[in-house]
Structure 1
Amino acid sequence: MPAHLISNKNGLAYYENTPFSGTTYTLFPNQKDTSEIFYYLEGKEHGIWKKFYANKQIREKREFKDGKKVGTLFKWWENGKMQMQYVFEDDEYQGTCKEWNDTGMLIKEMNYAKGHEEGSQKWWYDNGKIKSNYIIKNGRRFGLLGTKNCINVTDSIFKK
């Protein structure tokens, strides 16, 4: 069913005043090619959703269950290289989440527990040099935070 026929009421998808179950799609403007495919069950996002580039290359793939993000979100650059890989559990970030630049170089590796940063967190510049390298332990940051070496940013701002 074309996505424009679905309405959103209080966070649920409806078709003709009934919570929608089924597949929706969106086409690229002035084309017959599909840009998005979404699935719903009783008005809630459910199943694997996909988005595409105009060149038919997959752009994004993610999964929902009972209206919540679950599993792994994959995003690709238009050149086909991986852009990001984020893990969700019960609608929150969980585990290791990664991002790459359009040449395929890893630029971010973050770790989460129940939606919050936890453990090792690393960011790199496009040239491969480290941008940030810190650890979250007991809700506090320790390590290299951008240009602040081994200083908690809030400590450096509020202490004289």
Structure 2
Amino acid sequence: MISIIKKLFLLIIFFTSGITAQNGTVKTYHMSGKVESRIAFVDDILEGTSYWYYENGNIRTEKNYSNGKLNGLTKNFYPTGLLKDEIRYSDGMLHGVSRRFYENGALAEVKNYEFGELKSVKNIEFDKDYIAPLSAYEEGKRKKNVENDDFICSAQICPEPIGGIEEIESNIIYPKLARQYKLEGSVLITTTINKRGISENIKVLQGLGLGCSEAAIEAVKNTKFIPGENNGEIVETEVTFKLNFRIKEAEDKPTIIASEKSELTSESKIDSSKQKDFIICDVDECPEPIGGITELIKKINYPPHAKRNNISGEVILNVKVDDIGFVISTEVKQGLGYGCDEAAKSAVIKTEFMPAKQNGKNVESNIEITVPFILDDKK
């Protein structure tokens, strides 16, 4: 019975979380577990290049979007990797020359459109003797690093950080607040690597908060790349990749020799106190977010109105957590306004907790929880 109730709550949470804006790449999967599609969003709007794949890993469809509308080339491929058709769009309308191909790779049809209006059609008779060159199979057979979700690009040969992705991560300066709150996770970055191997137009598709997005951008700026290639030529290439933020154990728990212990600063004591008082309760064991405070902080959707007005601080909530671990009520004890109070409540509601314990048994509990709002670019 508890299992059924828990599943029901999870469904409610899932649909609630769908209200927040989607940023980054959404993936779907074939029944076999292989990637079926990678669809790119910015603020719930289709943006950039999205891909659909056959189960063999070859590209089935490639579409380019701008502000939710098809823009540029849309390509469909046969399972073999050969091009099936390429269709040109401008602001969501068919515009320019579109081509269709037979399964053997030979040209079958050419159409010309002007802003949605068909101007001409030319059909080409099937040539059974046509043999497509090996190079014709390459584009559809590009697997876009399906087996490696950390690096995606639009070139035949992706740019590579000199020293690998680990080189970028080694350039990350971990933000003090993120370390203080033990925030870990990934930042999704998109950038253009020019022909000299320098990153330009760096953007965060999915941030982590508490200064991590800014730290990721700086790390990419300080990394040199081997540029991408198409048909043996060096080209400017757009790439998307994840940067992982992990607090090393040595950093998290520094060794303090005896002579230093008496010299601990008041600042370090305050930091320790903040960790301890993040959740306050009146039972033997307080409820804890599954995955720790990191999981809750990841769910904070910083209100744009608060960002514009440089609002940061803490929202303190009174929260009731049931004996299964689900939040059943929230009330603001100390707010910030500008949408932060509602964002804090939303983040807590979406978080699943380990239930409180009293005398060794799971119990319903009332807790006070502090939700931090710290602007990434706050100096």
TM-score, L = length of structure 2: 0.29
Q: Distance in 2 between matches of 1:105 and 1:114?
A: 27
Q: Distance in 2 between matches of 1:51 and 1:16?
A: 22
Relative contact order, CA 8 A, sep 6+: which one is greater? 2
Paired residue for 2:18, among 16, 19, 24? 16
Tell me the equivalent position of 1:27.
29
C-alpha distance 6-33 of structure 1, shift in aligned 2 (>3 A): farther
1:115 to 2:116 alignment:
yes
Tell me the equivalent position of 1:155.
none
Residue type at the aligned position of 1:126: F
1:60 to 2:26 alignment:
no
Q: Distance in 2 between matches of 1:97 and 1:69?
A: 14
Q: Deviations over 1:43-74 (max 9, x none)?
A: 11111000111111111111101100001011
C-alpha distance 6-98 of structure 1, shift in aligned 2 (>3 A): farther
SS at match of 1:20: coil
C-alpha distance 124-95 of structure 1, shift in aligned 2 (>3 A): same
Q: Distance in 2 between matches of 1:101 and 1:65?
A: 29
Structure with greater helix share of residues? 2
Size of the alignment, in residue pairs? 116
Q: Distance in 2 between matches of 1:53 and 1:73?
A: 16
Please identify the structure whose Cα radius of gyration is greater. 2
Structure with greater strand share of residues? 1
Let me know the Cα RMSD of the aligned residues: 2.2
Q: Distance in 2 between matches of 1:82 and 1:121?
A: 19
Deviation at 1:111, TM superposition (A): 0.1
Q: Distance in 1 between matches of 2:69 and 2:47?
A: 8
Residue type at the aligned position of 1:83: K
Deviation at 1:18, TM superposition (A): 2.0
Q: Distance in 2 between matches of 1:80 and 1:99?
A: 14
Q: Deviations over 1:85-137 (max 9, x none)?
A: 1111100111100000111121110000001112x311234358xxxxxxxxx
SS at match of 2:60: strand
1:88 to 2:72 alignment:
no
SS at match of 1:79: coil
C-alpha distance 126-108 of structure 1, shift in aligned 2 (>3 A): same
Q: Distance in 1 between matches of 2:121 and 2:17?
A: 43
Gaps of 5+ in 2: 1-12, 129-379
TM-score, L = length of structure 1: 0.66
Equivalent pairs: percent with the same residue? 19
Q: Distance in 2 between matches of 1:105 and 1:92?
A: 26
Q: Distance in 1 between matches of 2:87 and 2:81?
A: 17
Q: Distance in 2 between matches of 1:91 and 1:41?
A: 17
Q: Deviations over 1:19-50 (max 9, x none)?
A: 32221011111x22101000111111111000
Residue type at the aligned position of 2:25: T
